[in-house]
């Protein structure tokens, strides 16, 4: 049995996420205990934290029922998170009971707040079985906070909200967008083609794969690659990418041969775009500016509006989302999106096109924003996305001609993130 601090690392990650509001990616990049691990130990600590987050509401309800004499929510955070990771090991990862209990009890000694709680951790975890979270009465949505369940159900309905929750509870595959020869890269990497230019791998660490250092591809969910295919940039065109960071879509546009301008309000995040462009040997002009107000005398053949949003379509990659976001955080996006699409329209040349997209299933951030824009701007109309353009995603086309990728689309191939995509053009008259 490894003596590496895998369980303490998992607890430390949860402290950063659930107590301090960091994202999982931020915690993984900054936590000292996790950084001290390597190889399988590092992977196991991440798996424990991820499994806990993917089932957190269910786990909380389960372990709270076995805590006596005090309210589970009032326990020291380290004790709560120890109980959570113990339950995740037993019920989700199916770690042998003895190992899960003994190693988690040992981990309690690592933290000041839980040093004397070994008896409680032992008593609660020994009451759990691998089947404790199974049963028809346990819905996938119960993994979310109650307020988030209500929001999603009210916004997208019972069936879709449950499907989104189900998709969140499994680790997603690794999707790569390649600059050229996707079939060849699928063969080299042992993956398979998915979407217009993506290679899907079951799992893996991107920076260890062939072609990473050479910049032949970049990590990007297949659904996230679709907006650029809908925009269809061409060599000789000038294309504007608004809210460009971290740069996946910018690189797609640049790879088409179009002259590419990338705008993002965060200079720090824009540096990441520049680093990605450098690695992939692609070229784009990067401008740090607020895209809701930025103006430019140039009119563009095409504008991509990759609007900031609640990002609730990426929960399978960011399962911490429902726990680190707050209701007030989600209210501000439609207003920002409306200002953004209105300003973007002024950057489009006569006969040009604009693609608006968000990685969220919430209508108020997708179709409602587009409908409001069209009602206020009679000089613009939808250019419906065609089935032949959507390819395997054609079942995701809406009656209006937008693309709305949500579960269970592509479920047999490993699913995809939820994305809303709409293409707009100025009227010819």
Pairing of strands 300-306, 348-358: parallel
Q: Counting Cβ atoms within 10 Å, is residue 242 exposed (0-12), middle (13-18) or buried (19+)?
A: buried
Nearest alpha-carbon partner for 86 in 42, 43, 117, 40: 117
Q: In 169-235, which residue ranges form alpha helices assigned H by DSSP?
A: 182-189, 222-231
What's the pLDDT tens digit per position in 92-119? Answer: 999 999 999 999 999 999 999 999 999 9
- Looking at residue 81, its pLDDT comes to 98
Question: Which DSSP string corresponds to 298-364?
Answer: --EEEEEEE-----GGGTTT-TTHHHH--HHHHHTHHHHHHHHHHHHHTTEEEEEEEEEEES---GG
The rounded distance, in Å, linking the Cα atoms of 164 and 186 is 28
Residue 203 has pLDDT above 90, yes or no: no
- Looking at residue 95, its pLDDT comes to 96
The pair of structure tokens assigned to 6 is 């895998």
Which residues make Cβ contacts (< 8 Å) with residue 348, sequence separation at least 6? 299, 300, 302, 303, 354, 426
Predicted confidence band of residue 135 (pLDDT cuts 50, 70, 90): confident
Which residues make Cβ contacts (< 8 Å) with residue 240, sequence separation at least 6? 261, 263, 296, 300, 302, 303, 304, 344, 347
What's the pLDDT tens digit per position in 206-227? Answer: 888 999 999 999 999 999 999 9
Q: Counting Cβ atoms within 10 Å, is residue 235 exposed (0-12), middle (13-18) or buried (19+)?
A: exposed
Pairing of strands 259-264, 238-242: parallel
Instruction: Please give the mean pLDDT across all residues of the chain.
Output: 95
Q: Are 112 and 148 in contact (CB under 8 A)?
A: no
The SS3 of residue 58 is: helix
Residue 260 has pLDDT above 90, yes or no: yes
The rounded distance, in Å, linking the Cα atoms of 357 and 306 is 5
The SS3 of residue 419 is: strand
* Exposure on the CB side of residue 244, measured as CA atoms within 13 A: 32
Residue 201 has pLDDT above 90, yes or no: yes
Residue 237 has pLDDT above 90, yes or no: yes
Predicted confidence band of residue 64 (pLDDT cuts 50, 70, 90): very high
The pair of structure tokens assigned to 354 is 């604009």
Query: For residue 240, what are the β-bridge partners?
Result: 261, 303
Q: What is the Cα Rg of the chain in Å?
A: 23
Nearest alpha-carbon partner for 76 in 23, 8, 19, 33: 19
Residue 421 has pLDDT above 50, yes or no: yes
Dihedrals φ, ψ of 296, to 5°?
-155, 135
Residue 1 has pLDDT above 70, yes or no: no
What's the pLDDT tens digit per position in 148-183? Answer: 999 999 999 999 999 999 999 988 999 999 999 999
- C-alpha dihedral, 87 to 92 to 95 to 101, nearest 10°: 0
Residue 429 has pLDDT above 90, yes or no: no
What's the pLDDT tens digit per position in 373-420? Answer: 999 999 999 999 999 999 999 999 999 999 999 987 888 889 999 999
- Looking at residue 259, its pLDDT comes to 98
Find the range with the poorest average confidence among 3-17, 62-76, 195-209, 243-257.
195-209
Predicted confidence band of residue 427 (pLDDT cuts 50, 70, 90): confident
**Model-wide pTM > 0.85:** yes
What's the pLDDT tens digit per position in 7-20? Answer: 999 999 999 999 99
């Amino acid at each position: 049995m490894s003596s590496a601090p895998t369980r303490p690392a998992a607890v430390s990650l949860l402290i950063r996420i659930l107590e301090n509001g960091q994202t999982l990616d931020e915690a993984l990049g900054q936590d000292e205990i996790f950084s001290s691990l390597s190889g399988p130990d590092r992977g196991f600590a991440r798996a424990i934290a991820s499994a806990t987050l993917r089932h957190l509401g269910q786990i909380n309800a389960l372990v709270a029922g076995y805590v006596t004499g005090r309210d589970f929510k009032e326990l020291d955070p380290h004790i709560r998170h120890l109980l959570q990771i113990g339950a995740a090991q037993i019920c989700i990862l199916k770690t042998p009971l003895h190992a899960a209990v003994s190693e988690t009890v040992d981990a309690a000694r690592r933290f000041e707040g839980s040093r004397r709680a070994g008896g409680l951790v032992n008593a609660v975890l020994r009451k759990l079985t691998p089947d404790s979270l199974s049963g028809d009465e346990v819905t996938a949505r119960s993994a979310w906070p109650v307020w988030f369940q209500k929001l999603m159900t009210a916004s997208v309905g019972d069936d879709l909200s449950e499907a989104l929750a189900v998709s969140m509870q499994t680790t997603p595959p690794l999707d790569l967008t390649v600059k050229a020869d996707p079939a060849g890269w699928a063969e080299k990497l042992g993956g398979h083609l998915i979407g217009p230019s993506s290679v899907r791998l079951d799992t893996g660490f991107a920076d260890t794969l062939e072609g990473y250092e050479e910049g032949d591809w970049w990590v990007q969910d297949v659904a996230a690659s679709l907006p650029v295919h809908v925009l269809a940039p061409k060599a000789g065109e000038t294309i504007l990418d608004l809210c460009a960071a971290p740069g996946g879509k910018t690189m797609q546009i640049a790879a088409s041969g179009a002259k590419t301008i990338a705008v993002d309000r965060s200079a720090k995040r824009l540096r990441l775009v520049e680093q990605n462009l450098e690695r992939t040997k692609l070229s784009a002009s990067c401008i740090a500016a607020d895209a809701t107000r930025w103006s430019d005398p140039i009119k563009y053949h095409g504008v991509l509006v990759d609007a900031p949003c609640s990002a609730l379509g990426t929960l399978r990659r960011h399962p911490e989302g429902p726990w680190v976001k707050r209701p007030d955080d989600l209210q501000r996006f439609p207003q920002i999106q409306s200002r953004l699409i209105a300003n973007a329209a002024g950057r489009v040349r006569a006969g040009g096109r604009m693609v608006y997209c968000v990685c969220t299933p919430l209508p108020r951030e997708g179709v409602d924003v587009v409908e409001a824009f069209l009602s206020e701007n009679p000089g613009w109309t939808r250019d419906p996305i065609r089935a032949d353009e959507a390819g395997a995603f054609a079942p995701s086309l809406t009656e209006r001609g937008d693309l709305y990728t949500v579960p269970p689309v592509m479920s047999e191939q490993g699913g995809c993130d939820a994305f809303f995509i709409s293409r707009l053009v100025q009227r010819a008259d």
